[in-house]
Amino acid sequence: MSPEWRTVPPMASVLVVEDDQFVRSALIRHLTDASHTVRSVGTALEALREVAHFRFDLVILDLGLPDLDGAEALKMLRGITDVPVIIATARDDETEIVRLLNDGADDYLTKPFSVEHLSARMAAVLRRARGSGSGEAPPSRALQVGGLTVDPLRRQAELDGARLDLTRREFDLLAFLAGRPGVVVPRKELLAEVWQQSYGDDQTIDVHLSWLRRKLGENAANPRYLHTLRGVGVKLEPPL
Ligand code: CA
């Protein structure tokens, strides 16, 4: 065993999706012993419901589920979450595994697998997920600024409990600002970070800001959350 494998990953919140009661209990026992927090379900549909309601660091997904084909389940999961997924498969079929990795699985284990093997894969996947991203990793939890909640992973935003219907760019803009509440972000930085442009027209930002303002139920003359400082930048902060 390489030394790297013995690195204990920080505690993770894990969703186990496994219909075999015996395998499921064993997994839960092992993960709990390793100080992870575990929730478990036996069907793909329950798994989808879980990831829609809770934040997990990792999903262990059995491919032979009673309700949905594993590949189908993975696709649906990927439609709503970026959470790392380790596939647990009895199928020792290389083409299938390659396809699943292409479809968004982070790694796989062929059953039966040992606890050590699972720990090693988990550690590697978690390390990759936690250390990934160029520069800043996406915040793992929803951001809260006053009555505004922004969940970067689910790409959902709410104002006073009501879901905001935002375009992709509006969401990116809001999430970026919500990650730095009270900080004046220069326009140049917004262009670079949200629009991925090194130069551009201030109007682009102004137009999106005004759309975003409208959705937040405010306007430039009477700002609540979004404040523009002329010639300086933009900041998001809770209303007084
Ligand atoms: Ca199964």
Beta partners for 219?
222
* CA 90–ligand 1 middle distance (angstroms): 8
* CA 69–ligand 1 middle distance (angstroms): 10
The values of phi and psi at residue 118, to 5°, are -60, -45
* Residue at 75 is within a domain: yes
| Owning domain of residue 215 | 143-236
What is residue 190's three-state secondary structure?
Answer: helix
Task: Report the chain (240 residues): mean pLDDT per 10 consecutive residues.
Answer: 46 92 93 89 94 91 90 88 89 78 86 86 83 50 89 89 90 90 86 76 83 93 90 88
User: What's the helix, strand, coil split of the chain in %, to 5?
Assistant: 40, 20, 40
Out of 130, 164, 198, a domain closes at: 130
- 113 and 25 part of one domain: yes
Q: Which residues contact 106 (CB under 8 A, 6 or more apart)?
A: 84, 85, 86, 125, 128, 129
* CA 112–ligand 1 middle distance (angstroms): 12
Out of 130, 157, 186, a domain closes at: 130
* CA 99–ligand 1 middle distance (angstroms): 19
* Residue at 68 is within a domain: yes
* CA 57–ligand 1 middle distance (angstroms): 22
Residues near ion ligand 1 (CB < 5 Å) are: 19-20, 62, 64
Q: What per-residue confidence (pLDDT) applies to 140?
A: 56
Asked if residue 146 lies in contact with residue 225, where contact means CB atoms within 8 angstroms, the answer is yes
- 83 and 150 part of one domain: no
Structural domain count, the chain: 2
Q: What per-residue confidence (pLDDT) applies to 10?
A: 61
Q: What per-residue confidence (pLDDT) applies to 131?
A: 67
* CA 60–ligand 1 middle distance (angstroms): 12
Rounded distance between C-alpha atoms, residue 105 and residue 52, angstroms:
18
* CA 58–ligand 1 middle distance (angstroms): 18
Out of 72, 99, 130, a domain closes at: 130
* CA 73–ligand 1 middle distance (angstroms): 13
Q: What per-residue confidence (pLDDT) applies to 19?
A: 94
* CA 127–ligand 1 middle distance (angstroms): 27
- 92 and 203 part of one domain: no
* CA 111–ligand 1 middle distance (angstroms): 10
- 24 and 87 part of one domain: yes
- 31 and 80 part of one domain: yes
Q: What per-residue confidence (pLDDT) applies to 50?
A: 92
Q: Alpha-carbon torsion 35, 37, 154, 238, what sign?
A: negative
Cα–Cα distances (Å) from 61 to 4, 42, 124, 186, in that order, read 24, 10, 17, 43
Residue given tokens 């935003």 in the structure block: 157
Structure tokens at 97: 């595994």
* CA 23–ligand 1 middle distance (angstroms): 9
Q: Where are the beta strands (DSSP E) in 18-129?
A: 37-41, 58-62, 85-89, 107-110
Q: Which CATH number is 227's domain given? A: 1.10.10.10
* Residue at 57 is within a domain: yes
* CA 65–ligand 1 middle distance (angstroms): 5
- 11 and 116 part of one domain: yes
